[in-house]
A and B are shown apart, each in its own frame.
Chain A
Amino acid sequence: MAKQEEYSVIGHPMPRVDAKVKATGEAKYAADIELPDMLWGKVKRSPYAHARILNIDTSKAERLPGVKAVTTGKDFGGFKWGWLGTTRDEEPLAVTKVRYIYEGVAAVAAIDEDIAEEACELIEVEYESLPGLFDPFEAMQEGAPLVHEDCLGNITSEYHWNFGDVEKAFAESYLVREDNFKTPRMAKGYIEPPAIVAYWPDSNHLTVWAAKGSPYFPYRILGRCFNLPLNKVRIIQPFIGADFGGTKNDMVNGDFAAVMLAKKTGKPVKIVYTQFEELTTCTRRHPVWITIKTGVTKDGKLKAIQTKVVADGGAYTRMSPLSLYLMGVCLTLPYELPNFKTDAYCVFTNNPSSAAMRGHGIYHTRFAADVQMDMIAEELGIDPVEIRLRNAIENPKPGEIYHTVNNLTVGSCGVKECIEKTAEAINWQERKEAEKIDGSVARGLGFAAGTYLSGARLTGHNACAAVVRVCEDGTVNLLTGASDVGQGSDTVMSAIVAEVLGLELKDVEIKRVDTDYTPADPGSFGSRVTIYAGEATKRAAEDAKRQLLEFAARQFDVSPEEVDIKDKKAFVKIDYSKSMPWWRLVRLACYTTPGNVIIGHGVSTRGVGRVPDFDTGGGDIGASYSFTAEANEVEVDLETGVVKCTDNSVIAHDCGLPLNPTAVETQVQGGAYHQGVAAALYEEFKMDKGLTVNPNLVDYKRPRAYEAPMTKVIHVITNDPFGPFGAKEASEGSCCTAPPAVINAIHDATGVWIKELPAQPEKVFWALKEKRGKEQR
């Protein structure tokens, strides 16, 4: 495999291809789109968490001047949707029963937003209130009321996996610990709420602009919902104001409502959610209760881990089966683990639905396992960095593969190097021995290591494709169905084409997703875009290059193998005097062969084939696995319990090869802070019987710039054998290492263990008080 310095575009820091239009405000997001005669829609929502709908009277709303159409769930003819064919349990608008507070029951289209809102208030809905379930442990009990009457119980999905022999391993262990941990119910955190503009150009064609990170989800779901063949469903992707899984992967009530109201009125209909609607009705990160039992040898080597996991899935299944799967599958990385057993349950409640979120699944159990690793290290008197190094999986030699006990295939693993480089950069030894208390402030340093999958491997349509079209002036268009939701994939895809064709980044123009023209694609989730769309893009560019090499060979009267293209020039490899500028080569190729249009085509191959078995928990969920180590310093105010991360913060990340190092840095820093430190210190939805009581960004604290750690990122390069140019995942891994690193740092500073995230001041205050009380006794 080529080394980083041998590439001319990839591997070098590059400004993003879309940064300029975003910095000038020209970039159009879904809410910025406006069409002539456009109407505004609004969703009518239920005040009940669990209730039967007895009647909906829309007559008063329909009579309000300015109202053009009203829709209810009955208009959808019994249609239901879900993540899998077997989990279609959600209606576009609730018909017979509402299952969470503010679920949509009707919608209005009017000439302006105010009238639409007023009309919603005029819709009269008669409910019969039903007992609600808000605690997954209550919901799991026999005889509990059913959230879905057609199910036997409230368990959405459950897994019971058993690898090796944990009982025997525990019996042979020098130390066995069992601890309970809890992760909070969290918002996705993106600033752009869901938005859609739907339009039917004629009664057989649907066009939608929507804030969707995975536009081929609504493509399929809306096609089925409105009985349209897929060649008549057009989803156009505007710029996306970030998407961390869940809500912008799939659907919200407003999406279906806008399309139905546009159909009824024959006019474009726009629905833009408020942040209140986002924070009360859109999917959240699962709150998860984890019991983890770990056995180790005297020198701290892991012998077995057994977990029991209970997740609150909320009102509908959504993608909980996958979330639950991910909470187990990667516990066998990044440390060698010979025995692993888990029993995991996801449960329906009358809370808003839970779904994927950056760091999907893996974050919950990595938090538990890596905090417990510090507890074990403390009991055994081993340094936290040392115990991780003793357990870390070695980087397989080139050509070799490491298999975990649950049969994950690891072709490259830089975790040891990540741990060593992080410890060195943060001056671990020196700082650890430094004075901790300074007046009322205690300082502490925490460490963690982790993994994340690169490119989720799932059933159904999981391949990516790309089309590279070489224009006659030598510039290039790139079409993929992969979508850039802010992670920077448009830049990386363009860079791959430029690298293969010997061009500059500015010569490549990537088109945003338009299902009328771009090849079908699963979407932006599971850290899959660089890996799979990158592979497809590389192949498409190579296909275009092959066609041009064949043409150039004829011009030079040599064989195609003797020709290459670099630095905007085609040349004979052994005779540089035979060369031709790129633009001339392209023009000749396009003009002199009648009908010759240079179009390269490529598909990804890594994401398809044998997919993991959810029942046994065995098999690869990713094409490869990234590795991360993180060290954070915290300051704990011993009087108030306020915890702050300092600028002493280091992450070493093994993403194989960083294709755009700048983007990898921002992704790793962002993942660690916004979805990692946020979980550790700040964020949690407070609930009261299904009602979100902090549904705004004032009461729901998000991490801000004034307390952001200026995290240093170290690239660990392992050149993975399975990724395009050796690349693996970047960004989700750091979401998973930040919480344990911060919690371990709080312990280092104060001696208290915070096992329930987030470590908000009150929790830390009481933990400190309890500790002082015990010490005085």
Chain B
Amino acid sequence: MKGELKELKFTVNGEAYELKVKPKTLLVDLLRKELKLTGTKQGCLTSACGACTVIIDGKAVKSCSILALQANGHEVTTIEGVADGDKLHPIQEAFIEHGAVECGFCTPGRVMSAKALLDENPTPTREEIREVMQSNLCADEGYVKYIEAVEIAAKKMQGGS
């Protein structure tokens, strides 16, 4: 029946949730409107811009393009769950220090894409970084500093300077 609520059990940033949601609710809407995790941005609703990227069970996923119920039983990480308390993730540090953040609207999605990449492949080539980062659109900075920042973060996470 239209609007009938369904049960959703999942974890977000390590916290377990049991919720009742409308079947048509998109994951991005649930995160932003219900859980108030507005760090995940909504840009295009067509899986094209990547501003809504989150990590589900280690994979980068565009949260505008899956239903909230599809996250049932899974572990979701959003931008709010990336830093360890006050300690920023090396990717966030590299983005800030290397000047890769401009208007910032696409930044959370990019951090998530970069994190999923480096968690799976700690030593990516520049071409691999470009391939992955193509899923996140930017409009103002030209991608150069972003690509370089991911390389810097990868080195840092490997224990380099």
B and A form one assembly: yes
Using a CB–CB cutoff of 8 Å, the interface residues on chain A facing chain B are 13, 15-16, 18-29, 31-32, 34, 188-193, 239-242, 244, 272, 274-276, 485-488, 662-663, 665-667, 669-674, 696-698, 702, 704-706, 708, 710-711
Tell me what chain A mostly uses at the interface: helix, strand, loop, or mixed: loop
Establish whether residues A708 and B38, one from each chain, have CB atoms under 8 Å apart when the complex forms: no
Q: Which residues of A contact B95 (CB under 8 A)?
A: 19, 23
**Scoring B residues 69 to 91 as 1 if CB is less than 8 Å from chain A, else 0, what string do you get?**
00000000011101100001000
Q: Which residues of A contact B98 (CB under 8 A)?
A: 662
Distance of A702 Cα from B142 Cα, bound (Å): 12
Of B39, B43, B80, B142, which contacts A711 at CB under 8 A? B142
- Closest Cβ of chain B to A191, distance in Å, is 4
- Closest Cβ of chain B to A42, distance in Å, is 15
Residue of A whose beta carbon sits closest to that of B37: A25
In chain B between 29 and 48, which residues have their CB closer than 8 angstroms to a CB of chain A? 32, 36-48
Knowing A31-B42, A192-B43, A708-B147, say if A670 contacts B49 (CB, 8 Å).
no
Q: Which residues of B contact A25 (CB under 8 A)?
A: 37-40, 78-80, 108
Residue of B whose beta carbon sits closest to that of A697: B48
Establish whether residues B134 and A16, one from each chain, have CB atoms under 8 Å apart when the complex forms: no
Give me 15 other A-B pairs in contact (C-beta within 8 A), A19-B95, A705-B129, A711-B144 excluded.
A13-B99, A19-B96, A19-B99, A191-B138, A192-B43, A241-B104, A272-B42, A488-B102, A669-B144, A670-B139, A674-B138, A697-B48, A704-B134, A705-B133, A706-B131
- Closest Cβ of chain A to B36, distance in Å, is 8
Of B38, B99, B103, which contacts A241 at CB under 8 A? B103
Knowing A18-B104, A275-B43, A708-B142, say if A698 contacts B136 (CB, 8 Å).
no
Residue of A whose beta carbon sits closest to that of B24: A114
Distance of A672 Cα from B143 Cα, bound (Å): 11
Establish whether residues A192 and B41, one from each chain, have CB atoms under 8 Å apart when the complex forms: yes
Using a CB–CB cutoff of 8 Å, the interface residues on chain B facing chain A are 32, 36-49, 51, 78-80, 82-83, 88, 92, 95-108, 111, 129-131, 133-134, 136-147
Q: Which residues of A contact B38 (CB under 8 A)?
A: 25, 28, 31-32
Establish whether residues B105 and A705, one from each chain, have CB atoms under 8 Å apart when the complex forms: no
> In this complex, which of B42, B51, B104 has the most chain A Cβ atoms within 10 angstroms of its Cβ?
B104
Establish whether residues B103 and A705, one from each chain, have CB atoms under 8 Å apart when the complex forms: no
Establish whether residues B83 and A24, one from each chain, have CB atoms under 8 Å apart when the complex forms: yes
Establish whether residues A23 and B88, one from each chain, have CB atoms under 8 Å apart when the complex forms: yes
Establish whether residues A191 and B46, one from each chain, have CB atoms under 8 Å apart when the complex forms: no
Q: Could you list 6 examples of A-B contacts with CB < 8 Å?
A: A22-B104, A188-B139, A674-B140, A674-B142, A704-B134, A704-B137
Distance of A672 Cα from B141 Cα, bound (Å): 9
Q: Which residues of B contact A672 (CB under 8 A)?
A: 142
Of B42, B78, B80, B140, which contacts A242 at CB under 8 A? B140
Residue of A whose beta carbon sits closest to that of B51: A191
The 3 A-B pairs of least Cβ separation, nearest first, read: A25-B39, A486-B103, A22-B104
Establish whether residues B138 and A16, one from each chain, have CB atoms under 8 Å apart when the complex forms: no
- Closest Cβ of chain B to A492, distance in Å, is 13
Q: Which residues of A contact B83 (CB under 8 A)?
A: 24
Q: Which residues of A contact B82 (CB under 8 A)?
A: 24
- Closest Cβ of chain B to A418, distance in Å, is 18
Q: Which residues of A contact B102 (CB under 8 A)?
A: 242, 486-488, 666-667, 670
- Closest Cβ of chain A to B60, distance in Å, is 14
Establish whether residues A710 and B105, one from each chain, have CB atoms under 8 Å apart when the complex forms: no
Of B78, B137, B145, which contacts A191 at CB under 8 A? B137
Establish whether residues B144 and A242, one from each chain, have CB atoms under 8 Å apart when the complex forms: no
Knowing A15-B96, A241-B103, say if A669 contacts B141 (CB, 8 Å).
yes
Distance of A477 Cα from B95 Cα, bound (Å): 26
Distance of A22 Cα from B95 Cα, bound (Å): 10
- Closest Cβ of chain B to A292, distance in Å, is 29
Residue of B whose beta carbon sits closest to that of A676: B142
Knowing A22-B101, A696-B48, say if A705 contacts B140 (CB, 8 Å).
no
> In this complex, which of B131, B136, B140, B143 has the most chain A Cβ atoms within 10 angstroms of its Cβ?
B140
Establish whether residues A670 and B48, one from each chain, have CB atoms under 8 Å apart when the complex forms: no
Knowing A22-B104, A192-B105, say if A275 contacts B134 (CB, 8 Å).
no
Q: Which residues of A contact B130 (CB under 8 A)?
A: 705-706, 708
Q: Which residues of B contact A674 (CB under 8 A)?
A: 138-140, 142
Tell me what chain B mostly uses at the interface: helix, strand, loop, or mixed: loop
- Closest Cβ of chain A to B9, distance in Å, is 24
Of B37, B79, B103, B143, which contacts A485 at CB under 8 A? B103
Residue of A whose beta carbon sits closest to that of B40: A25
- Closest Cβ of chain B to A51, distance in Å, is 28
Knowing A29-B105, A704-B134, A708-B147, say if A275 contacts B99 (CB, 8 Å).
no
Establish whether residues A29 and B41, one from each chain, have CB atoms under 8 Å apart when the complex forms: yes
Distance of A363 Cα from B136 Cα, bound (Å): 26
- Closest Cβ of chain A to B54, distance in Å, is 11
Residue of A whose beta carbon sits closest to that of B78: A25
> In this complex, which of A24, A29, A239, A669 has the most chain B Cβ atoms within 10 angstroms of its Cβ?
A24
Q: Which residues of B contact A673 (CB under 8 A)?
A: 142-143
Q: Which residues of B contact A487 (CB under 8 A)?
A: 102, 140
Establish whether residues B103 and A15, one from each chain, have CB atoms under 8 Å apart when the complex forms: no
Q: Which residues of B contact A708 (CB under 8 A)?
A: 130, 142-144, 147
> In this complex, which of A13, A21, A32, A672 has the most chain B Cβ atoms within 10 angstroms of its Cβ?
A32
Establish whether residues B142 and A193, one from each chain, have CB atoms under 8 Å apart when the complex forms: no
Q: Which residues of B contact A706 (CB under 8 A)?
A: 130-131, 133-134
Residue of A whose beta carbon sits closest to that of B145: A666
Residue of B whose beta carbon sits closest to that of A275: B44
Distance of A669 Cα from B102 Cα, bound (Å): 12
Distance of A672 Cα from B39 Cα, bound (Å): 29
Q: Which residues of A contact B134 (CB under 8 A)?
A: 704-706
Establish whether residues A22 and B107, one from each chain, have CB atoms under 8 Å apart when the complex forms: yes
Q: Which residues of B contact A662 (CB under 8 A)?
A: 98-99, 145
Establish whether residues B46 and A275, one from each chain, have CB atoms under 8 Å apart when the complex forms: yes
Distance of A298 Cα from B37 Cα, bound (Å): 66
Distance of A20 Cα from B101 Cα, bound (Å): 9
Q: Which residues of A contact B133 (CB under 8 A)?
A: 705-706
Establish whether residues B49 and A191, one from each chain, have CB atoms under 8 Å apart when the complex forms: yes
Residue of A whose beta carbon sits closest to that of B105: A241
- Closest Cβ of chain A to B37, distance in Å, is 8
Residue of B whose beta carbon sits closest to that of A195: B42
Distance of A242 Cα from B105 Cα, bound (Å): 8
Establish whether residues B80 and A239, one from each chain, have CB atoms under 8 Å apart when the complex forms: no
Residue of A whose beta carbon sits closest to that of B82: A24
> In this complex, which of B37, B80, B133, B142 has the most chain A Cβ atoms within 10 angstroms of its Cβ?
B142
Establish whether residues A275 and B101, one from each chain, have CB atoms under 8 Å apart when the complex forms: no
Establish whether residues A697 and B137, one from each chain, have CB atoms under 8 Å apart when the complex forms: yes
Distance of A23 Cα from B110 Cα, bound (Å): 9
Q: Which residues of A contact B129 (CB under 8 A)?
A: 705
Establish whether residues A666 and B144, one from each chain, have CB atoms under 8 Å apart when the complex forms: yes
- Closest Cβ of chain A to B64, distance in Å, is 10
- Closest Cβ of chain B to A128, distance in Å, is 34
Distance of A486 Cα from B36 Cα, bound (Å): 24
Residue of B whose beta carbon sits closest to that of A192: B105
Establish whether residues B139 and A242, one from each chain, have CB atoms under 8 Å apart when the complex forms: yes
Q: Which residues of B contact A670 (CB under 8 A)?
A: 102, 138-142
- Closest Cβ of chain A to B96, distance in Å, is 4
Of A188, A240, A711, which contacts B103 at CB under 8 A? A240
Knowing A29-B105, A674-B139, say if A191 contacts B144 (CB, 8 Å).
no
Establish whether residues B99 and A666, one from each chain, have CB atoms under 8 Å apart when the complex forms: yes
- Closest Cβ of chain A to B5, distance in Å, is 14
Knowing A23-B96, A191-B137, say if A669 contacts B104 (CB, 8 Å).
no
Establish whether residues A663 and B41, one from each chain, have CB atoms under 8 Å apart when the complex forms: no
Q: Which residues of A contact B108 (CB under 8 A)?
A: 23, 25
Residue of B whose beta carbon sits closest to that of A677: B142
Q: Which residues of B contact A667 (CB under 8 A)?
A: 102, 140-141
